[in-house]
Homo-oligomer: A and B are copies of this chain.
Amino acid sequence: FPGCRILCLSRDIPSKPGCLNGSAPKDATSFDVRGTPGVDVYIVHNPQVAKVPTCVPRWPLDVRVEVVVTMKTPSDAVNDNKVRISYYGKDGGPPMHRAMLYLTCVGNLSVLPLQREWTWGPDGQGAILLVNCDRDDPKSSDMDNKDFCVRSYADLRDMSCMILRTRGPDAIFDDHKLVLHISMSDADKVGVFHARGDDILHQYKHVLGSNELSYIVDRPSGQEEDTFYVEGLAFPDADFLGLVSFHVTLLDVPDENLPETPIFTDTVVFHMAPWIMTPNTQRPLEIFVCSVSDNADFVEAVSKLARKARCKLTVCPELENQNDRWIQDEMEFGYVQAPHKTFPVVFDSPRDGEMQDFPFKSILGPDFGYVTRQPYNESVSSLDSFGNLEVSPPVTVKGKEYPLGRILIGSSFPRIGGRRMTKAVRNFLCAQKVQAPVELYADWLCVGHVDEFLSFVPAPGRQGFRLLLASPSACYKLFREKQEEGYGEARLFEGRILETVTTTTIDEILANETLRRENDYVQSCIDWNRDILKQELGLSEKDIIDLPQLFRVINKKASAFFPDMVNMIVLGKHLGIPKPFGPTVDGRCCLEESVRSLLEPLGLTCTFINDFFAYHTLEGEVHCGTNVRRKPFSFKWWNMIP
């Protein structure tokens, strides 16, 4: 019975294996064995297992014969069960000698659930812990796991319950110490509270974690269960696989001159829930946008789109954003999940813009967690902004499933001197394990974010999405077609809104050899990424849509020439796309028409938003200026195999 342990307290015969011969008289050749009703006796005999029937055949006294004694229920009193071994000589006859084994059964001491190992996948098992990184008490100045008390039931509900079962006669626990303990390396990963008193929170005591490595459990007479609550302090990272073990040990306290002896130890393993990102294909719940001095129209346009998508809109006021409009870059929304609780967690980027206090001050709150990473001894670059941190929808790559998608980050092409996301953030993302990151090449861009050349939209079909890529080739093709149709004089940037901007005709664009060379270069950079994306996300050409787009290359770094349409906000079927102000053909912008013709057949609706002066000329677009909190996956992360 796996839930029970037997203590052999009697010293009549040695209590450990070898005991059969240990008490046998010299001439004995065989034995039989019987137990009191609470005891099951099995003979393991090379290698058949047979339960001993009431009227026993004798067994040879041979090292290959093992007697296994088990008990079904914990003892009521010390030594309340017995096993009698009778020894016989060669000639049979009555037993030459008898030995008694006195047994006391102690119920499994382990914490519930009873899981010593932690395994991934649908057949996996193991307990789960959340990093208690939200702030349930609005009056508190920091996250809930920064203190050593349970402040509220909301705080308690973010913790995992751990029950210590101590079934067995009281006398055993009078003689022995019961210790709950953790290893040094886990001490800064968890906090454990002992539920004491009549469920009165302020009596809950912090007993393990930080400097507390062991806790002697005082077991009141007859109390068979003791309740603890566990909170996580740290997310998986380069130096932390995410597994935390709790041990419970029954210690013998034999003698003043001798140390305490561990009788046995049981262990339970918890896995810290990883931080999980949500791709564009997840339903949007809340949209964030900054209100700054010059973007009222943009905020209004986003607000309208939010209403269409039936989505909550949260405007970060100028007081909090300090005129920093790049809310995509400041933070990334994700979530943590355990079977008993799920809550969103904002990952605050190491980018230090004027908005830097916003995530901690305004996002962190009741059931809204917070995490950040400080760079090691590295300088922070534009690639550390979270416009450079995206995640694909679920994919399958050569048979390997990524049911939560894969994280995409932009890096330098691996040569000296390029910009790359800080190791602190890359390590953190890798350590979460469930959305194995892919590094793309983004350093060719002036700003250097993956959202400048790719996006994902929901779409019917095999994969459930399309990858959108910015494409100079597609733009040249479109403009050539328009030229052939006789619209070579149509002008980019024409119209009242952009009065101050220099316009240029399709003919001029197609004749501009410098622009052509620059865009060939850009196309080759995007093509290089296209190869990696197809390979690492298991995509085929059918899964990719090329959106017409031109770039300029200045000081060897690229920026969008007209508003970068791929840098869009995706709210279910509603897309908010930077208005490109393309050449007008038949009264319509031919770039918008082209994008519509590519996306609307997929059931998507395109809303083109003017971000020209408020974002585009500042090197960003709609996606950079917004942020979206999305619904967690219905797929549970512990059911995957990373």
Contact = CB atoms under 8 A, between A and B. Distances in A.
Nearest to A265: B528
Contacts of A496: none
A254 B517 contact: yes
A66 B262 contact: no
Contact of A473 (B16, B414, B528): B16
Contacts of A263: 524, 528
A441 B553 CA distance: 65
Contact of A261 (B238, B477, B524): B524
Contacts of A17: 530, 541, 544
Nearest to A415: B214
B414 A254 contact: no
A252 interface: yes
17 contacts: A14-B476, A17-B544, A18-B473, A18-B477, A22-B477, A179-B415, A182-B414, A214-B416, A247-B414, A255-B517, A257-B553, A258-B517, A258-B518, A258-B553, A261-B444, A261-B525, A262-B525
Given A183-B414, A258-B553, A415-B179, A22 B473 contact: yes
Contacts of A413: 249, 262
A181 B259 contact: no
Assembly stoichiometry (copies): 2
Contacts of A518: 258
Interface of A: 11, 14, 16-18, 21-22, 26, 63-64, 66, 179, 181-183, 185, 213-214, 238-239, 247, 249, 252, 254-255, 257-259, 261-265, 413-416, 423, 441, 444, 471, 473-474, 476-477, 481, 484, 514, 517-518, 520-521, 523-525, 527-528, 530-531, 540-542, 544, 546, 553, 556-557
Question: Lowest 8 CB-CB distances: which A-B pairs, in order?
Answer: A261-B524, A259-B556, A14-B473, A258-B521, A213-B416, A17-B541, A214-B415, A262-B528
Contacts of A521: 254-255, 258-259, 261
A264 to B, nearest CB: 7
Contacts of A181: 414-415
Contacts of A26: 481, 484
Contacts of A514: 257
B259 A528 contact: no
Given A18-B546, A182-B414, 6 more contacts: A16-B527, A17-B544, A183-B414, A213-B414, A213-B416, A254-B517
Pick from A18, A261, A263, A517 the residue with the most CB of B within 10 Å.
Answer: A261
Nearest to A480: B22
A413 B441 CA distance: 49
B261 A18 contact: no
Contacts of A258: 517-518, 521, 553, 556
A348 B238 CA distance: 27
Nearest to A186: B414
Nearest to A520: B254
A404 B234 CA distance: 34
Given A14-B477, A255-B517, A415-B213, A542 B64 contact: yes
B542 A63 contact: yes
A101 B220 CA distance: 85
Contacts of A247: 414
A369 B520 CA distance: 52
A536 to B, nearest CB: 11
A528 B17 CA distance: 12
A66 B542 CA distance: 9
A60 to B, nearest CB: 15
Contacts of A473: 14, 16, 18, 22
Nearest to A546: B18
A531 B185 CA distance: 24
Pick from A66, A263, A413, A514 the residue with the most CB of B within 10 Å.
Answer: A413
A16 B523 contact: yes
Contacts of A423: 185
Given A257-B556, A415-B214, A252 B517 contact: no
A422 to B, nearest CB: 12
A527 B520 CA distance: 73
A416 B214 CA distance: 7
Pick from A16, A182, A527, A531 the residue with the most CB of B within 10 Å.
Answer: A16
A590 B74 CA distance: 42
Nearest to A526: B16
